[in-house]
A and B are shown apart, each in its own frame.
Chain A
């Protein structure tokens, strides 16, 4: 019942250096976040190569909300300015991006915005991704009142489903409703508002972001945006780019078979035909109604055969629902640039979270099942909060002589991973995690691939427990080097002078 993580080479080589990771944790405490800034630049390059394959121009904007780190943002700031930008969703994210080296024109301000956020975005020449017609009015007012230059704006659209428009008759592809953006059916109001404020704003493109893994829904929205771009041009506006948001996904579990066996077993456990796989029989949203499984497992598809840049490629390559030509061709033929805003997919394989094992003891009711208490809590590694199920990697402590040679018992052992809060519900995961052997106090567990939303998104100071420090590591000559996240600069050799 393993769900072993997908670990690509740089991260794999870091995991093999257990003494280095132990030393880091000894010095900086548990929990500890470790980031690989080089990998985020490599991921950006992978997205760019999909652009090149389809001859598309336009930027890849990193969705900053996925991780608060400075090292990642600074490393991306050092990438080609024409290729890589940043998507910020708050005033502080904007300030952080600017402080990390992004110039204003590489910044996209998204989400609902207050006046301060709008002012600074306008002041530094960022592109404002407008959430509503009201926000446009507010921005235009600010620009005039404070004599800011004309601001580039995108208009975020939503509710493509109810838009009968030009997608195949007879078939309705349903989508979840979103709180964000202007419904396509009311886009006319936004065009009129844009035309009222030509001195204050310039439409540079249209945007959408759909919270779905389904290519069908995204292809429909993309195609509709391409047609709406032409409608805008017909009105004399001059948009150039379609921003298709994020949601490209990441694969966490390496082996499809493990993921399939586990999810099958979850159904069986819910039906009661096999022992529970979870803390107190939690069903992750599945329930047993008279011998039939009802409900949907609220789980992230942890094994993905297509994710990240590959997902973008698939979206661009499949035929669009109404016009039949692939979205990449439509974008290109209609002379549009493409913007994407990957978060999770851009920081895929960019880091891990370490926790010290504090205590191991058998659970009361089952002597073979152990409770492992960690020096972290569920807020520090919020994989579970995002429905992501994947095993941590056990890094035994090599210190005491002979201990590694005599592991107690043999073979995989099922454990519950409990956090450091005095709170019944503080479990790192409700899943029974199988480890190759029983951990001991002092060992480390490494949660791999936590840089996207799972590292600091939900971290807190409840019970005054320490929150994780974050370090950036780079591969030096034959050894890993580290520095605090806030001290990393792309030109700096960690722990030393300029490289």
Chain B
């Protein structure tokens, strides 16, 4: 397959049947539309290209900036498309909630603007929200912004009416599925696909999935938020149901571990939402001899959501680490085995010890640079934790004085190093704070 530009590879994604032994529906064939196989990695490649294309070609190489309200896949696709045309991309968002996606966007050259949080001392007469100001800035005369406006731009839905919808019909040999299941974000895919399917056969049923209100699933809006989407029309959907992040992760794990589909949580939510909804339909079909088909969208891939999974289901990402760790000691073990030395004793030890102790400051490098005990070395606690995991980082012949802000962490490490066989490790009692309060000298770099 040879292309002149990567944008030609957008679309024509596979439609893959889910093994019935996995989903358990006996009278319904369930198909996954693998939008994650688009070149930039998601279902948003289509609308991003469809919305931006007319403007990109016209403005290519200029000093314009493509701008969109997105914290995820649309931003990703637009950042790549903008770069491809020599333009910049700016993503404006309430909050980037998935750190990997934020980092990925920065890697792609995007600029990210996060809107201010809600006011704590509210002035109810001030209804001028940050988004209103965002739109005002875009429409100022002479603005070099190219706003794709995915929540209101009809080309968002048209991208799917022109591509995703017809592809599904073609791959089902010209038939329309009995159910189409989509998560509602901008409502672009569900609106566009539903329109095409209904034109072919008005009997198709469309299920829209939204996120549980107190929950967060990437790319899916809650029932309140969909009302703020210009493309959202309740008439598009025969029913709307909500899914939780736990269901999304369950679905994602099933698709990954049982179906070979490297789906992210949004695809997982669509799968779980579909199976949950279709289960009762399936029961009614028993004994009728009728077979039905259903299609759901796998929106993007799993890799960008590891921290999302880690926060909600840490057990899926493996067990604990081995080796020596200060966290493995109990408080009473720390008290029993950690030796301390007070500020006066420490000063005498540093000045006249034979040999003199190595002073290790466990604070962060900025704090160390600002003020520290003369002659001390700085090994920040996170690094120290790694160093001691595999063994003693000092000779047993060198006495060690450990210092942290208040003498708590240093005591823990003193106990650990003692347990690991070091004969003379002591913790500075009261830490650097006590050292300062005693008027002992601290120097700056």
Contacts and interface: CB of A to CB of B under 8 A. Distances in A.
A335 B405 contact: yes
Interface in A366-387: 384-387
Interface in A142-188: 169-176
A169 B214 CA distance: 31
A227 B122 contact: no
Given A216-B95, A267-B224, A295-B127, A256 B116 contact: no
A213 B111 contact: no
Contacts of A256: 214
Nearest to B432: A335
Interface string A194-217: 000000000000000001111111
Nearest to A294: B228
Interface in B33-61: none
A387 B131 CA distance: 20
Interface stretch (B287-295, B330-338, B366-374): B366-374
B187 to A, nearest CB: 11
A226 B364 CA distance: 12
B111 A212 contact: no
B43 to A, nearest CB: 22
Contact of A334 (B112, B122, B127, B370): B370
B119 A293 contact: no
A292 interface: yes
A330 B369 CA distance: 13
Nearest to B105: A170
B120 A213 contact: yes
Given A211-B120, A212-B120, A285 B127 contact: yes
In this complex, the interface size class of chain B, counting residues with CB under 8 Å from chain A, is 35 or more
Contacts of B122: 298-300, 386-387
B86 interface: no
B364 A264 contact: no
Contacts of A271: 227
B228 A247 contact: no
Contacts of B117: 212-217
Interface string B217-257: 00000011001111011100000000000000000000000
Contacts of A20: none
Nearest to B367: A333
Given A55-B408, A335-B433, A174 B113 contact: yes
B436 interface: yes
Given A170-B106, A216-B95, A298-B124, A211 B119 contact: yes
Given A267-B227, A292-B232, A333-B405, A247 B120 contact: yes
Contact of B114 (A173, A211, A227, A292): A173
B406 A264 contact: no
A334 B436 CA distance: 11
Contacts of A115: none
A411 interface: no
Contacts of A463: none
B211 to A, nearest CB: 12
A264 B116 contact: no
Interface in A214-242: 214-217, 226-227, 230, 233-234
A191 interface: no
A491 interface: no
Contact of A233 (B106, B114, B119, B370): B370
B112 A214 contact: no
A214 B97 CA distance: 13
A293 B436 CA distance: 58
Contact of A172 (B112, B131, B364): B112
A214 B230 CA distance: 27
B118 interface: yes
A213 B230 contact: no
A430 B230 CA distance: 28
Contact of A293 (B114, B132, B227): B227
Contacts of B120: 211-213, 246-247, 249
Nearest to B406: A55
Contact of B444 (A215, A234, A293, A332): A234
Interface residues of A, number: 59
Given A234-B444, A294-B228, A295-B129, A217 B432 contact: no
A291 interface: yes
B366 A284 contact: no
A260 B124 contact: no
A300 B96 CA distance: 22
- The main secondary structure of chain B at its interface with chain A is loop
A385 B122 CA distance: 8
A329 interface: yes
B127 A174 contact: no
A385 B124 contact: yes
Contacts of B232: 292
Contact of B116 (A212, A227, A267, A299): A212
Nearest to B366: A323
Interface string B126-151: 11011110000000000000000000
Interface in A306-339: 323, 325, 329-330, 332-335
B115 interface: yes
B383 interface: no
A169 B132 CA distance: 26
Interface string A273-287: 100000000001100
B110 interface: yes
Contact of B364 (A57, A249, A323): A323
A268 interface: yes
A301 interface: yes
Contact of B406 (A169, A234, A298, A332): A332
Contacts of A335: 367, 371, 405, 432-433, 436
Contact of B118 (A173, A175, A214, A295): A214
A263 B118 CA distance: 16
B102 interface: yes
Contacts of A334: 366-367, 370-371
B366 A227 contact: yes
Contact of A330 (B106, B110, B111, B364): B364
Interface in B272-314: none
A499 interface: no
A174 B118 contact: no
B363 interface: yes
A333 B113 contact: no
Interface in B138-170: 152
Nearest to B134: A174
A271 B224 CA distance: 11
B121 interface: yes
Name the residue in B102, B110, B114 with the highest tally of chain A Cβ atoms < 10 Å from its Cβ. Answer: B114
A334 B406 CA distance: 11
10 contacts: A170-B112, A171-B113, A173-B116, A176-B119, A214-B118, A267-B228, A284-B124, A298-B124, A333-B364, A384-B124
Interface of B: 95-96, 102, 106, 110-127, 129-132, 152, 213-214, 223-224, 227-230, 232-234, 363-364, 366-367, 369-371, 405-406, 408, 432-433, 436, 444
Counting from the closest, the 7 A-B pairs by CB-CB distance are: A214-B117, A333-B367, A296-B129, A285-B127, A333-B363, A247-B120, A387-B122
Given A172-B113, A212-B119, A214-B118, 4 more contacts: A55-B406, A170-B111, A175-B116, A334-B370
